[in-house]
Amino acid sequence: MRRALPALTRRWRVFALVRSADPALSAAGVTQIIGDLDQPATLSRLRGLAQAVLHSAPPPSEGAGDPRTKRLLATLGRSRSLPRSLTYISTTGVYGDCGGASVPETRPLTAKSARARRRVAAETRLRHTACRWGMRVSILRAPGIYAAERLPLERIRRGDPVLLPDEDSYTNHIHAEDLARACVSALERGRANRSYNISDDSDIRMGDWFDKLADAFGLPRPPRVTRAEAQTRLSPILLSFMNESRRLTNTRMKRELKLWLAYPTVDDGIATALRNPTCSG
């Protein structure tokens, strides 16, 4: 989470687990530890190193469970000095399809995709470990992360379709800057074994999101198709996002993490991207 580094380095001495050294991290005041969560033998230097951990590594793209989280916790546990807190960036995909309903953090997890089930496995392992260690774990469930340099404009240029309005799904978003700020807030204020929806205030369907982007950047709006037709024209991963509809509540984020959103809606994020055209591609 490079965007969080300025705030983190002002408060803590920061170590980062990296596969290869990065001069930019050194310039930012970060001490780098060369290692790989897929290679347990490289992780020994993490033992007893930190009082607080920010865990943003995703699970592998295949298999069951999350061996990366398992290896990280196994390494941290081989020390007399255990972390006091850990913040994990998860995904709102753990809720599965909610039929457009309002979704608080107390909603049961019904992940449908293998990708989301691996996240549920990671969350479960973290919660159980936190109870054994007396560690404070905060789980940040993030939806579609965007920023000026990570907008799905290429998808619009390809002419990928979106669903007809009466068949469309609700989608949720968070600007990368606000997610970074949420990470810092969770490390400082997150409650023990607590999950947070890290989402902005937008209330928008997926097709409308792509229409907004197309209009803002002078691109043709995506064609609208039925859900049945989309099954024959889109990749399985795109379909998995389109087949899940939910409207996240973010009251807990605002109340407990005291997070003030710099980008309350996607309109704010798009406006900023338009002021930085070289970043938006």
Q: What is the pLDDT of residue 236?
A: 86
Q: What is the pLDDT of residue 191?
A: 95
Query: Between 65 and 237, whose confidence is greater?
Result: 65
Beta bridge partners of 89: 140
Please state, for a pLDDT cut of 90, what percent of the chain lies above it.
91
Q: What is the pLDDT of residue 276?
A: 77
DSSP H/E element including 61: none
- How far is residue 114's CA from residue 159's CA, in Å, rounded to a whole number? 27
- Determine phi and psi for 11, rounding to 5 degrees: -105, -30
Q: CA distances (Å), 88 to each of 121, 161, 162, 180, 242, in order?
A: 13, 33, 32, 12, 25
| Extents of the domains making up the chain | 2-149+173-201+248-280
18: tokens are 């990296």
Instruction: Classify 35 as helix, strand or coil.
Output: coil
Task: Domain 2-149+173-201+248-280: give its CATH code.
Answer: 3.40.50.720
Q: What is the pLDDT of residue 235?
A: 86
Q: What is the pLDDT of residue 241?
A: 87
DSSP H/E element including 197: strand 194-197
For 146-176, the pLDDT digits (tens) are: 999 999 999 999 999 999 999 999 999 999 9
Whether the predicted pLDDT of 240 surpasses 90: no
Which residues are within 8 A (CB) of 50 and not within 5 positions of it... i.e. 6 or more apart?
Answer: 15, 83
Q: CA distances (Å), 188 to each of 8, 47, 51, 152, 258, in order?
A: 10, 22, 12, 33, 10
For 255-270, the pLDDT digits (tens) are: 999 999 999 999 999 9
Whether the predicted pLDDT of 6 surpasses 60: yes
Number of other CB atoms surrounding residue 88 within 10 Å: 25
- How far is residue 169's CA from residue 23's CA, in Å, rounded to a whole number? 42
Q: What is the pLDDT of residue 148?
A: 95
State the Cα angle at 62 between 61 and 66, rounded to 5°: 80
Whether the predicted pLDDT of 238 surpasses 90: no
Query: Between 191 and 235, whose confidence is greater?
Result: 191
Q: What is the pLDDT of residue 277?
A: 62
Whether the predicted pLDDT of 280 surpasses 60: no
Strand 85-91 with 52-55, pairing: parallel
State the Cα angle at 154 between 153 and 159, rounded to 5°: 100
Which residues are within 8 A (CB) of 237 and not within 5 positions of it... i.e. 6 or more apart?
Answer: none
190: tokens are 């997150």
Q: What is the pLDDT of residue 76?
A: 96
Please state, for a pLDDT cut of 70, what percent of the chain lies above it.
98
Instruction: Classify 52 as helix, strand or coil.
Output: strand
Q: What is the pLDDT of residue 269?
A: 97
For 127-144, the pLDDT digits (tens) are: 999 999 999 999 999 999
Whether the predicted pLDDT of 278 surpasses 60: no
